[in-house]
Amino acid sequence: MDIDLHCHSTASDGVLAPREVVLRAHQQGVHVLALTDHDTTEGLVEAHQAAQDVGIQLIHGIEMSCLWGGATIHILGYSFALDDPTLLAAIKNLHEGRWLRAEEISKRLAAKGMPDALAGAQAIQAALGDSLNAPARPHFAQFLVSAGHVRDHAEAFRKWLGAGKIGDVKQHWPSFEDTMEVLTQAKASISLAHLYHYNFTRSKRRRLVQDFVTAGGHALEVVNGMQPAEQVGTLSILAREFNLKVTAGSDFHLPRQWSELGKYRAVPDDLTPLFAYQPAVNNAL
């Protein structure tokens, strides 16, 4: 695909540095890329320099964690003002919350006979890059593999880190309403991320979309990597019903897993994209 609006680097829980993500996207034929690291804009300066070097249009982005209805959900923000004081304060709070979360994950794993998880996850994170952010669940997963507690990344999430498991720590996230207000004040274009990642009923998914629209959201991520085609169809129906624009992306974290940069299921032709490939646009930082 020409455009990929969802990917991650070592600034959060990806395995490639921001520059390497951009270069890989260029190699995959991507012309418009949004780097959307979790709760941080740390990688954007490096990514923009790389984008200028290879001629990719880079949209600055972020994937913000928040609580809605007692569940953790993710909101994608794009093209915001990087120096907006409300956004900077929110990111600082999220940064602190992620450290509290990492400490709590480590304590819970230790209570189940898996000690030193925080130090182990930090070591894995340090080997990938120089991020000052807290280690995330993929880093903990890799630690559990390397320490012999599980066989692979998938088992780590299935037994210990996935939704509803002991490593699924939620209590440090801000509210959905506060997060939407922060992104609105920063003049961001806002998309609701991967609605099928949440264990919601159909009616609960619809209520979330309604609340998102009421709060000023602009788009629905109708395609996230190689998700099942029937999910794309259902999300497309919601986008039409609520007159939302749409976003799509690989949700790339590491090579050869889930999907590759620029690789995801096609978006139905009748939907209006939030961003499109515009060769003449200059997206300098």
Region of residue 29 (phi > 0: left; psi between -120 and 50: alpha; otherwise: beta): left
CA atoms lying within 13 Å on the CB side of residue 84: 17
What is the share, in percent, of the chain residues with pLDDT greater than 90? 80
The domains located in the chain, with CATH, are 3-82+176-249 (3.20.20.140), 92-161 (1.10.150.650)
**Which of 277 and 93 is assigned the larger pLDDT?**
93
What pLDDT, in 10s, does the model give residues 38-87? 999 999 999 999 999 999 999 999 999 999 998 999 999 999 988 999 99
Which sign does the torsion angle of CA 133, 138, 144, 147 carry?
A: negative
Residue 284 has pLDDT above 50, yes or no: no
CA distance 17 to 94: 21
What pLDDT, in 10s, does the model give residues 20-47? 999 999 999 999 999 999 999 999 999 9
For the chain, the C-alpha Rg in angstroms (whole number) is 18
Region of residue 275 (phi > 0: left; psi between -120 and 50: alpha; otherwise: beta): beta
Residue 136 has pLDDT above 50, yes or no: yes
pLDDT of residue 258: 66
What pLDDT, in 10s, does the model give residues 195-209? 999 989 999 999 999
Structure token pair of residue 145: 């593999």
Instruction: Report phi then psi at 186, rounded to 5.
Output: -80, 5
Structure token pair of residue 186: 């920063």
**Averaged confidence pLDDT in the chain:** 93
pLDDT band for position 1 (50/70/90)? Answer: confident
What pLDDT, in 10s, does the model give residues 225-273? 999 999 999 999 999 999 999 999 999 998 876 689 999 999 999 999 9
**Quick check: 186 and 81 in contact, CB under 8 A?**
yes
pLDDT band for position 131 (50/70/90)? Answer: low
Nearest CA to 160 out of 98, 224, 97, 117 is that of 117
Residue 148 has pLDDT above 90, yes or no: yes
pLDDT of residue 279: 66
pLDDT of residue 89: 96
What pLDDT, in 10s, does the model give residues 152-176? 989 999 999 998 899 998 777 899 9
Structure token pair of residue 103: 């400490």
Beta strand pairing call for 71-78 and 219-224: unpaired
pLDDT of residue 259: 81
